[in-house]
């Protein structure tokens, strides 16, 4: 008989449904009544806050500052860059009126007299509105570079929403930089990709492949899109962050021009780069198990939860006091440069129920303290990366002294597991037959994984593969060596392997 | 001859224009091409980030957690609370379509086939959408209280926008709590008002009056609106934060019901409270002078700017090294519980130009280091709260050791000045003649200040005063004692003085 799990179905049984159940059980988010828009609940938002703090530190350390640009984009701005508008026109929320009036049936309707002369689009991304602003800011090469990031909400109308992964409204950051030279802009694009890869490793415990998107998968309007790609437990790929070299496309569309050192009028070179609340979905799918989420410690809203065990009411006060004292000692420790985050759960609920709530929510370390622990000076410690029945009983002092190391070990465990999963499911493939077999028939929604294979470099072959197998080129890896071979699909010559996978 | 100032006109000459010029000169924000929407530039956004961090700490210390709710509100939700919709219907941005198509003239138009069955309103505030969510979360008294805050953008269509003070889109936080009892909800409302007053004093160096709004000035749908009111230098009032006791109005409109301890179905009691980027405008007008902004140290993006003085190129490296070394020592100091924020301005610009840029931007402390300072081990220090020619020449060691105290002194100076201005311009008034005189004829746009006067408690009198003098009741002060008197306008009996002023 199989062991009972907190989440039904299990990952093996039905990965997509497991995901929805974990989001619910961990109290991370839920669908709102507004189609495609999610409510991010405190536990889920706490994860996002930690991600924000980590990323923001990395952005500032690389010379960027935050700013804020309008939510609305005039229709004509969006239309300035042809590929860009082509990419976003089908998913734009459009504001057409600025006032409501009674509809005569007890409700409201947009006031026809308040119709806007030019409709406004709720930003799906901000290249065009920011470009128009930079055009005013930049006169001379002395005004460059501009290195700005924005934390914001964006809207891309979504017909098949899925919480965190594909939502009509999501939260993200979008960096937008402008440079004097092509080389500088390309270096910025690469630098931010490296920042994302570092963040994935050091905060999310996620190994990622880095590389360039094929032309067909590029950001609309970009010359080059770099990306980080992670594997999650159904062996699909998820694009976890992108960094775009925009060439002079948006500078020309928006008129970002400057007088160069040689006293000539030139267009600036721009970049943009972003990650979003999709990262939360990525973490859930990469690290979760059949009991719920497992959070990498650096992004866990609470890294340690202390559970008072006080069966007799007369002991409550003493147990609570011991828990608070332990919490204070733990908070004086640090992990990843920040004070350890501790929660003491004093709610009047059964110990089993409480414990399972925190397991499902993925708190890295759970500690129980009862009257006998106080007597003995020990604590009962359970780690989320181990079985839920596995407990250790160190002295409180040992536990506090070792907490930084423990959190580090949990991070390392998650990183190791994710790396092993990825490596075990990443293969080189040479023939169309193998390729087709790899991407089919591995159980419900679970396919083979990542395939490094030769591609002839044509959009036609790329499209054929996508149509036949729903498999896409995730990236042309940065470190993929030159290697003569034959395209896995067309048999035509190829000089390099690319990374194929099914994806979110 | 008058001394030359960095900002033209001066505050005395034309306060509103002075404000616009300061916003520009300090590089804080600008109007965007989207009517009513501002671009918050890095220096302005840095102030907001510091305000956010300070407020967020106070919210969390009082038991609140952050979450995120949808940007869009279905029209029917907004209509659920009668007073609420009445208050916001006239200023709502309305989304009616979700796709764009070519308009046949080379541009785009909303796709008629993408018209939404129910239009969506861009949130002007989130009581209704959050209420609908809480209705799902709350079943039993055990689910209460809910103590949540949201950091978000909101849109209120604005016909006469003014950067930071009145903009169509602005950034804010909105707390939304739900409670079991009226007493708890009232206590929460009071608590958050106290938090705002504390934040105004300790972060913004702003003394504020606290009190209750008259019925006419209440938040649409609230039973009680509490507020903090600050005086700025044209002696007008600015409402800097509000905390609303919503009674059971929104709980009834949204169906937030729970089974009580007595096993009865009851409606929850809710509150909401918010402050916005308007606080940045408040700080500018409260503390700025004719040379630009003066930032209270706790919200200054840089608290100390170090300006290398290296007239001879061969000295540059040594001077830069000394500046970096000083910066490192300063960053090891702390103020207000955070590492001192230091910027070293190595740009290749004239010393005078650089210095004036930082004066206009309001950095609390400026330090110059040149070759002779290095020899002598001294630094040249100027404080933004003193004249721009006034410099001190401590040793570098003295300066570093005293920086925490210096920043504290600057905060205290700003607080003292603001308090003196307010006290000097706050009077008790007994007669209609005095009252009318007080609020007229004090130079362009500058009126008398704050008047504590008797009011008969009627909406009619309140409206008459507003029509006649553009003066409103700012609040019924929390600590205003019972006192028999005659209404300053109608002569009818009054039991208490209220605070009158012109306002933003």
pLDDT in tens, A2-11: 568 999 999 9
Contact predicate A175/A242, CB 8 Å: no
Structure tokens at A223: 């010359």
Q: Tokens representing B61? A: 């210390």
Nearest CA in chain A to B159: A98
Distance, CA of B30 to CA of A6 (rounded, Å) = 53
Interface subset of A 64-103, CB within 8 angstroms of B: 65-79, 85, 89-101
The sign of the CA dihedral B128, B131, B132, B133 is positive
Instruction: Compute the nearest-CA separation of B101 from chain A (Å).
Output: 7
Give the Å distances, CA to CA, from B49 to A341, B81, B151, B276: 22, 33, 11, 12
Count other C-beta atoms under 10 Å from residue B456's C-beta: 17
Interface contact B96-A97, CB threshold 8 A: yes
CB of A118 less than 8 A from some CB of B: no
Backbone angles phi, psi at B436, to 5 degrees: -65, -45
**Alpha carbon distance A47, A34 (integer Å):** 23
Are the beta carbons of B302 and B341 closer than 8 angstroms? yes
Asked if pLDDT for residue B1 goes beyond 50, the answer is no
B122 close contact with A: CB closer than 8 A = yes
Supply the pLDDT for residue B302: 98
- Closest Cα to residue A95, out of A67, A113, A114, A108? A114
Where do we find the tokens 């507003």?
B466
Q: How far apart are CA B381 and CA B399, in angstroms?
A: 8
**Enclosing H/E stretch for B186:** helix B182-202
What was the pLDDT predicted at A443? 58
Is the Cβ pair A107, B70 closer than 8 Å?
A: no
- In angstroms, the CA A52 to CA B44 distance is 19
The CATH superfamily assigned to A304-406 is Anticodon-binding domain (3.40.50.800)
pLDDT in tens, B285-340: 999 999 999 999 999 999 999 999 987 889 999 999 999 999 999 999 999 999 99
Selected for mutation to probe chain B from A35, A46, A95 (highest B CB count within 10 Å) is A95
Q: How far is B385 from chain A (nearest CA, A)?
A: 26
pLDDT exceeds cutoff 60 at B2: no
The partner residue sitting opposite B70, judged by closest CB among A32, A79, A148, is A32
Residues in chain A with CB shorter than 8 Å from the CB of B77 are 33
* CB nearest to A85's CB, from B30, B93, B108: B108
Query: Is the link from the previous residue into A145 a cis peptide, with omega within 30 of 0?
Result: yes
Residue A41, both tokens: 């609940």
Domain(s) labelled CATH 3.30.930.10 in chain A stretch across 15-287
With tokens 């003295």, the residue in question is B398
How far is residue B98's CA from residue A94's CA, in Å, rounded to a whole number?
A: 6
- For tokens 């002369």, the residue is A117
Contacts of A86 (CB under 8 A, 6+ apart): A220
- Say if residues B25 and B310 touch (Cβ distance below 8 Å): no
CB < 8 Å to A153, chain B: 71, 152-153
What gap in Å lies between CA A477 and CA A472, rounded to an integer? 14
Q: Which helix (H) or strand (E) holds B319?
A: helix B316-331
Q: What is the pLDDT of residues B345-374, one digit of tens each?
A: 999 888 899 999 999 999 999 999 999 999
Q: Which of B85, B100, B119 sits opposite A110 (nearest CB)?
A: B119
Average pLDDT of chain A to the nearest whole number: 95
3-state DSSP assignment of residue A244: strand
Dist CA A504 CA A164 (whole Å): 11
Q: With 60 as the cut, is the pLDDT of residue A381 above it? A: yes
| Residues B180-208: tens digit of each pLDDT | 999 999 999 999 999 999 999 999 999 99
* Interface membership of B342 toward A (CB under 8 Å): no
- In this predicted structure, the answer to whether residue B461 has a pLDDT above a threshold of 50 is yes
Please provide the average confidence, as pLDDT, over all residues in chain B. Answer: 95
Give the pLDDT confidence score for residue A83 in this predicted structure. 84
Please give the average per-residue pLDDT across B472-491, as a whole number.
94
**Which helix (DSSP H) or strand (DSSP E) does residue A188 occupy?**
helix A182-202
Q: Is A338 on the interface with B (CB under 8 A)?
A: no
Q: What sign results for the dihedral spanned by CA atoms A382, A387, A389, A391?
A: negative
Q: Which residues contact B156 (CB under 8 A, 6 or more apart)?
A: B88, B91, B92, B124, B168, B170
> Which residue in chain A is spatially nearest to B97 when comparing CA positions?
A94
Instruction: Please check whether residue B383 is in contact with residue B367, taking contact to mean a CB–CB distance below 8 angstroms.
Output: no
Contact A460, A485 (CB under 8 A): no
**The residue to which tokens 């910027």 are assigned:** B343
Nearest to B333 by CA among B385, B406, B384: B406
CB atoms B37 and A70 under 8 Å: yes
Chain A residues whose CB is inside 8 A of the B48 CB are: 68
- Relative orientation angle of helices A278-287 and A15-25, to the nearest 10 degrees: 110
Q: Is the pLDDT of residue B441 over 70?
A: no
Minimal CA separation from A89 to chain B, in Å: 5
What pLDDT is stored for residue A26 in this prediction? 98
- Pinpoint the residues of chain A covered by CATH 3.40.50.800: 304-406
* pLDDT score of B502: 95
User: Are residues A71 and B101, on separate chains, in Cβ contact within 8 Å?
Assistant: no
Domain A426-501, CATH: 3.30.110.30
Length of chain A measured in residues: 504
CB contact under 8 A, B79 and A133: no
Least confident of A52-66, B103-117, B201-215, B245-259: B103-117
Gap from B80 CA to chain A (nearest CA, Å) = 9
Q: Where in chain B is the domain with CATH 3.30.110.30?
A: 426-501
pLDDT for A442: 62
| Backbone angle region of B110, left / alpha / beta, with phi > 0 → left and psi within -120 to 50 → alpha | beta
Per residue, what are the HEC states of A122-165? Answer: ECCCCHHHHHHHHHHHCCEHHHCCEEEEEEEEEECCCCCCECCC
List, as one string, the DSSP characters of A388-400.
TT--B--BHHHHH
Question: Does residue B310 sit at the A interface (CB-CB below 8 Å)?
Answer: no
pLDDT tens-place string over residues B121-141: 999 999 999 999 999 999 999
By the CB < 8 Å criterion, does B33 face chain A?
Answer: yes
Look at residue B260 and tell me whether its pLDDT is greater than 90: yes
Residue A325 has pLDDT above 50, yes or no: yes
Calculate helix-pair angle for B396-424, B316-331, nearest 10 degrees: 60
Judge: A72–B169 Cβ closer than 8 Å, yes or no: yes
Shortest CA distance from A301: residue in chain B: B65
pLDDT at residue A1, as a whole number? 40
Residue from the list B44, B89, B100 with its beta carbon closest to the beta carbon of A100 = B89
Whole-number Cα distances in Å, A311 to A73, A321, A324: 60, 15, 18
How would DSSP label each residue in B4-52?
P-SSSS-TTT-HHHHHHHHHHHTT-EEE-SSTTPEEE-HHHHHHHHHHH
Longest CA–CA span in chain B (Å) reads 83
Q: What is the pLDDT of residues A25-74, one digit of tens each?
A: 999 999 998 989 999 999 999 999 999 999 999 999 999 999 999 999 99
The three-class DSSP label of residue B260 is: coil
pLDDT of res. A330: 98
| CB-CB neighbors (< 8 A) of B61 in chain A | none
Mutation pick from B45, B100, B277, B331 vs chain A, by most beta carbons of A within 10 Å, is: B100
Q: What is the CATH number of domain A15-287?
A: 3.30.930.10
Q: How far apart, in whole angstroms, are the C-alpha atoms of residue B256 and residue B139?
A: 8
Strands A450-454 and A426-428: parallel
């Amino acid at each position: 008989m199989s062991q009972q799990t907190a989440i039904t179905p299990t990952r093996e049984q039905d990965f997509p449904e497991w995901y929805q159940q974990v989001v619910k059980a961990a109290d991370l988010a839920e669908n709102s009544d507004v189609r495609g828009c999610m409510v991010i609940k405190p536990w889920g938002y706490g994860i996002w806050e930690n991600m924000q703090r980590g990323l923001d530190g990395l952005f500032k350390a690389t010379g960027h500052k935050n700013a804020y640009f309008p939510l609305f984009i005039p229709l004509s701005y969006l239309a300035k860059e042809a590929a860009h508008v082509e990419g976003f026109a089908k998913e734009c929320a459009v504001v057409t009126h600025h006032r409501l009036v009674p509809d005569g049936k007890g409700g409201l309707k947009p006031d026809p007299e308040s119709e806007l002369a030019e409709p406004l689009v709720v930003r799906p991304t901000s290249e065009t509105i920011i470009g128009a602003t930079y055009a005013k800011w930049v006169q001379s090469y002395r005004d460059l570079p501009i290195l700005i990031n924005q934390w914001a909400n964006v809207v891309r109308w979504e017909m098949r929403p899925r919480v965190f992964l594909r939502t009509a409204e999501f939260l993200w950051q979008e960096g937008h930089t402008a440079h004097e030279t092509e080389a500088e802009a390309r270096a910025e694009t690469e630098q931010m990709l490296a920042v994302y890869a570092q963040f994935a490793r050091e905060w999310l415990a996620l190994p990622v492949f880095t590389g360039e998107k094929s032309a067909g998968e590029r950001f609309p309007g970009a010359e080059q899109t770099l990306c980080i790609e992670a594997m999650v437990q159904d062996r699909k790929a998820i694009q976890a962050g992108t960094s775009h070299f925009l060439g002079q496309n948006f500078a020309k569309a928006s008129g970002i021009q400057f007088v160069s050192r040689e006293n000539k009028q030139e267009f600036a070179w721009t970049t943009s780069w972003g990650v979003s609340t999709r990262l939360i979905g990525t973490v859930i799918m990469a690290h979760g198990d059949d009991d719920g989420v497992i959070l990498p410690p650096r992004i866990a809203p609470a890294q340690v939860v202390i559970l008072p065990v006080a069966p007799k009411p007369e002991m409550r006060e003493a147990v609570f006091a011991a828990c608070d004292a332990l919490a204070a000692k733990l908070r004086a420790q640090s992990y990843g440069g920040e004070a350890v985050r501790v929660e003491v759960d004093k709610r009047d609920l059964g110990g089993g129920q409480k414990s399972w709530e925190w397991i499902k929510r993925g708190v890295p370390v759970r500690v129980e303290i009862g009257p006998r622990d106080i007597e003995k000076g020990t604590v009962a410690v359970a780690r989320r990366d181990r079985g839920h029945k596995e407990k250790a009983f160190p002295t409180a002092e040992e536990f506090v002294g070792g907490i930084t190391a423990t959190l580090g070990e949990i991070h390392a465990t998650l990183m190791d597991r994710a790396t092993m999963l990825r490596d075990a499911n990443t293969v080189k493939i040479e023939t169309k037959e193998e390729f087709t077999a790899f991407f089919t028939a591995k159980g419900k929604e679970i396919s083979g994984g990542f395939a490094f294979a030769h591609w002839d470099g044509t959009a036609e072959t790329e499209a054929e593969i996508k149509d036949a197998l729903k498999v896409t080129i995730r990236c042309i890896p940065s470190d993929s060596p030159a290697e003569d071979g034959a395209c896995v699909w067309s048999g035509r010559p190829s000089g390099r392997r690319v990374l194929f996978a099914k994806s979110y």
